[in-house]
Amino acid sequence: MEQITILSSSEAPISVSNKLVIKFREFLPKKGYFISLFKNAGISILSMVVFLLIWQFGSAYLYNIEAQVKIEKAMSAGGATAAKEVEACIHSGAVSCQPNTLPSPSQVWIALQSLITDHQIIREKKAAFYAKVSATNAQRKSEGLKAIKYTGRPSFVDQILTSLKTVLVGFIIALLIAVPIGIIIGLNSNLRTAFNWLIQIFKPVSPVVWLLLVFMIVKTLTLNSDLDTSFIISSISVGLCAMWATLVNTSVGVSSVNRDYLNVAKVLNLGLFKKIFKVILPSAIPLIFVGLRITVSVAWMVLIAIELLAQSPGLGSFVWEEFQNGANDSNAKIIVAMFVIGVIGFMLDRIMFYIQRSASFEKTLA
């Protein structure tokens, strides 16, 4: 009698079309993904609306306080007639007599548009200037002379780019100093002990103090030089302020490498550099990137104070100039700068997080 073998559904051969369907289903969002997405988006939008309403009511409340103080001062100085004139001027919306206090969201939006328009005007002026002196600059270049540069005031966008460049150079300085020193002291417990006091003392030093120290050194080394000393001072100061997290994390990462890996390297007779680049660094990379992520955040935070004091034409000098200016829209422009600084800081942190995750093969979200 012929035996018949019955295959279960799990044992049955899968056709090519079914395989494609299964693969396609793997890429589809899980059940409830879109509900969760819309829920999170709705909560975020709601929180933004609440924030804007609180901001609006807060600015209106402070505006009324300032307006009342102005009217009372006019009353005490010039009587009821003067007080009525000031009150009428305030209600008319004239810029000259508006209370200078926390701006409303709409005023900040207007200030942002003003800064963008200002950037476009300055960019056109700069383009016209270089078109005008292009022939002169070509002649000066052939004679070995320096080209004539545009010396007009930078726009808000130019100042953002200057700050980003300063942070990038400062981050590279921190990386080049902290990672090699961290590897060296991480390999030797005696060196870690020897360097510990230095790290503990210099890590909490204020960026203002670092700036003054760097200024003393750079000023002497760049005498009779055409280098941009304010940019050099700012970049080095940012690097020195921000490097400590990377130095400490690199040292800890190197010192905590699995002993089995080091024993394998010893058995294979790997040289020092091969052992560092093939065994130690790959194991320490997750901790090193944690330090680098903190370094970027610290560098961006201390930048504003450093640029302000070093007179570097970045966001720090923009905020200080607007504060000193005291114009009616200066407060709104300062708030614009605050949001720009926050957004860029968040973006830098996210970039470092994704680099860290790809380097350490982490799949979990921070």
- The pLDDT of residue 69 is 86
Whether 1 shows a pLDDT value over 80: the answer reads no
Mean pLDDT rounded to a whole number for the chain: 83
Helix (H, G, I), strand (E, B) or coil at 150: coil
**What are the tens digits of pLDDT across the range 21-66?**
555 555 556 666 667 777 778 888 999 999 999 999 998 898 889 8
Most confident segment among 109-118, 223-232, 303-312: 109-118
pTM: 0.79
The CA-based angle 112-56-329, given to 5 degrees, is: 35
| Confidence label for 9 from pLDDT (cuts 50, 70 and 90) | very low
The larger pLDDT score, comparing residue 343 to residue 280, is at 343
Domain ranges of the chain: 15-92, 153-360
Letter string b/e over residues 208-230, b meaning 16 or more CB atoms within 10 A of that residue's CB: eebbeebbeebeeeeeeeeeebb
Which of 365, 349, 328, 254 is closest to 63 using CA atoms? 328
* Centroid of chain to Cα 283: 28
Phi/psi for 29 (5° steps) reads -60, 150
Instruction: Please state, in angstroms and as integers, the Cα–Cα distance from residue 204 to each residue in 208, 240, 245, 308, following that order.
Output: 12, 11, 11, 20
CATH code for residues 153-360? 1.10.3720.10
Give the helix ranges, DSSP H, for 28-133: 33-92, 105-132
Q: Count the helices and strands in the chain (H runs, E runs).
A: 14, 0
- The pLDDT of residue 112 is 93
- Determine the average pLDDT of the residues in 195-217: 89
Here the contacts of 7-12 (C-beta below 8 Å, separation 24 or greater) are: none
**What are the tens digits of pLDDT across the range 247-274?**
999 999 888 887 777 777 777 777 778 8
- Give the separation between CA 291 and CA 123, rounded to whole angstroms: 38
- Give the separation between CA 239 and CA 250, rounded to whole angstroms: 16
- The pLDDT of residue 33 is 64
| Confidence label for 309 from pLDDT (cuts 50, 70 and 90) | confident
